[in-house]
Every structure is written in C-alpha cells, then in structure tokens.
Structure 1
Amino acid sequence: MIDLSSARLSRRGFLILGTVSASALILPPFLTAEATAANRYQPFSSRLSLTINGRQRQLDVDTRTTLLDTLRENLGLTGTKKGCDHGQCGACTVIVDDQRINSCLTLAVMHEGASITTIEGLGTPDALHPLQAAFIKHDGYQCGYCTPGQICSAVAVMKEIKAGVPSHASSSLIDAPTFEPREIRERISGNICRCGAYPNIIDAITEVAEASA
C-alpha cells in the first residue's frame, strides 16, 4: 500500500493524477462502443421453402428467427399466439409434419421443406373444423388467447391416439392409448389455460374424438 503521507504530491501533481485516473475510467466504454460498432455482427438471411396451411411459401428470413415470429411477423398468421415465449404455456402450438410443437422454441430455418398447419389452416368461419365447432358448443374458452394452441394440440392428440402413439403418462394412467378423458387430459397438459376452462376443453375434445373413432 502506498503511504500517501510520504508521497508529498504537489497540488499540480495531485490534479494531474486525478485527471489521468478519471480518464482511465471514462474512456474504455467509448472505445468499446466504437469497436463494437465497427465490428457489429451482420445478420445472415436464408431462403426458406415451407408449405403453410397447404400453400407453398418462399421466404427470406434471418437465421435467428423463431418459427413463431416467422408465422406472425413474416406471414401475418397471428392466430398462433406468443404467450410465455419459453415453451411452457403451449399458446404457440402448431402442427409440423403431423406433429405438434411449440413454435417459440424452434428456428424457422430448421423446418426447410416442412408442412406446417396453424389455426388458420384448420377451418374458416363458414366451414369450422369439428374441434373449433366443439369448442364453441362447449364454451371451451374464456379470453380465447390459448384456444388456437389448444385446438392445434387437440388435432394432433387425436391422431396420436388413433396411431397408438404412447404418451408420457405415468404408470397410474391407461397403458394403451384411448379417448378417455384422463388420457386426453394428460396429453394436453402442456397447453395452459389461465382462465381455467379445462373441463369444457376436455368435453369438446372427447366429443369430437368419440365421433371420429
């Protein structure tokens, strides 16, 4: 440690030392910002071919863009919702090559050539998908924000059960895939409804599943 009492700095020396010290603290951020600006990362775009709701689409997208943001921002398909943006709520669920995924957790460029179905591709106001009609009939929504993901997930769930695809259910649940409510509840557990419309959601899915069995 420096003994300041023996340093015998003059007033002029003290001021010079203080100025140099202050400059050392102030200059680096400016220098760093300048260096960052000079070497800023340039985004890389990729040409992407997707089949969206039965329609072939060619897109130039930033390779860092999620499938969710591509659907909403590049294609205007805002039916797919951004909820938690961490893959925990299921609001962004879409169907990719007959499998349901959280579109917020995957990059668009990972799905070159894929066939993607969003809520807009399941039905229209004049020709509703059976599940859309059942959700209305059973009042399977309140605010409706999670509904597109719920319905897309339910469409995939019915295909999973028909194909005999096992779920991640514990041993206390049914071993063989069925359309029983407890099986459906387990399979759609990744889709969160903050309004708590679960009983009506299960009723809607069960009715359509039984009618198509």
Structure 2
Amino acid sequence: MSEDRSLARRVNCVVNGTAQAAEVSVRRTLADYLRQDLGLTGTHLGCEHGVCGACTVLVDGRAVRSCLMLAVQAEGCAVTTVEGIAPDVVTLHPLQTAFAKHHALQCGFCTPGMLTTLLEFLEEVPAPTAEEIRIVISGNLCRCTGYEPIVAATLEAAAVMRGGA
C-alpha cells in the first residue's frame, strides 16, 4: 500500500548539526525518520510506547522519547542523537569516555537513551548526587548493568565536565 501524499508534510530541522529537509508522512515517528530516512540507527527502538527510554534523543536540548514524537513535530528544531553528542569524529564526549571506563554498558541497547537523558540532566545539574542520577535514569531501562556503573560513570563525567580530573 502506498502512502497518501496528502498526508505528507515538509520537515526542516537540524540533526546533529546538519540541516535536513524532507517530505515525511504525518504519521511517521521521529525515531523512524532518524533511523530509516537518515540512517541514524544509534537511536534504538525498544518498547515503542515511551516506557523503556531506548529511543531518547535531544530536541532543542530536551530529552524526548522519539518513538512518541512525530517527525513533523521536529519542524524547526535541533535534534541530537547519540551519533551527535561527541565534539568530533575523533574525540568522545566525557560521558561516553566515562561509560567505557566504568563498563557502564554491556549489551549497549539502552546506552544511547541513557547518554542523551544524562546529557540534558548534566546541563541542568552539573554536580549531581548519586541519588539524583538514579532518579533521572529511572525511566531508562537497562537489563545488564545493574545501574551502578552508569551512576559511577555519570559522577565522573560530571566532574570532568566541570573541569575536574
């Protein structure tokens, strides 16, 4: 069955620093647009109901579940996926470095959503407590790590981002 073109809208947004423009079905989720149209498969789809957090991306700096947001809602917005959080292709973001150091990822399925969720949080709370981190990631499900390595990595990344060692 082909898509009804009357149900398509032009979407102009910036994804990971690059301007994007496309005709997109009004029913297409932001997650599907990122993964299927732009090839940014770092955004993972888990439950597709906004519960697991695997699909979390930043839209204008705010963490959103891309499985619940329509692509047309990103009109005029800046979207950052896990592929866009590092400052360049050679250097990892301090949060990515800390995740690797503390083994805060195992299967890696939850990692993109964890990283984007934590990036927004660390912008707002640069010196978090372990308890604050646990609360902010409580909406992101991880079946492998037991969360403690994620908390430790986030505490270290926060210190680095504040200019500490």
Name the aligned partner's letter for residue 110 of structure 1: Q
Q: Summarize the Cα distance change of 1:61–1:181 in structure 2 as closer, same or farther, 3 Å threshold.
A: same
Q: 2:105 aligned with 1:156, yes or no?
A: no
What is the SS of the residue equivalent to 1:56?
strand
Q: 2:32 aligned with 1:69, yes or no?
A: yes
Q: 2:52 aligned with 1:52, yes or no?
A: no
Q: How does 1:33-182 map to 2 (within 5 A)?
A: 42=4, 44-123=7-86, 126-162=90-126, 179-182=128-131
Counterparts of 1:59 and 1:79 in 2: how far apart (Å)?
20
Q: 2:157 aligned with 1:188, yes or no?
A: no
Counterparts of 1:65 and 1:153 in 2: how far apart (Å)?
23
Query: When the two structures are superposed, what TM-score results if normalisation uses the length of structure 1?
Result: 0.71
Say if 1:141 and 1:197, in contact at 8 Å, map to a contact too: no
What is the SS of the residue equivalent to 2:67?
helix
Q: Summarize the Cα distance change of 1:136–1:50 in structure 2 as closer, same or farther, 3 Å threshold.
A: same
Say if 1:157 and 1:188, in contact at 8 Å, map to a contact too: no
Structure 1 residue 211: deviation in Å?
2.7
Structure 1 residue 212: deviation in Å?
2.5
Runs of 4+ off more than 4 Å: none
Name the aligned partner's letter for residue 42 of structure 1: D
Say if 2:63 and 2:116, in contact at 8 Å, map to a contact too: yes
How many matched pairs? 160
Name the aligned partner's letter for residue 155 of structure 1: L
Name the aligned partner's letter for residue 72 of structure 1: R
Say if 1:99 and 1:156, in contact at 8 Å, map to a contact too: yes
Structure 1 residue 115: deviation in Å?
0.2
Counterparts of 1:151 and 1:41 in 2: how far apart (Å)?
34
More helix by share: 1
RMSD: 1.8
User: Who wins on radius of gyration, i.e. which is larger?
Assistant: 1
Structure 2's unaligned 5+ residue stretches are: none
Counterparts of 1:90 and 1:189 in 2: how far apart (Å)?
9
Counterparts of 1:80 and 1:41 in 2: how far apart (Å)?
24
Query: When the two structures are superposed, what TM-score results if normalisation uses the length of structure 2?
Result: 0.91
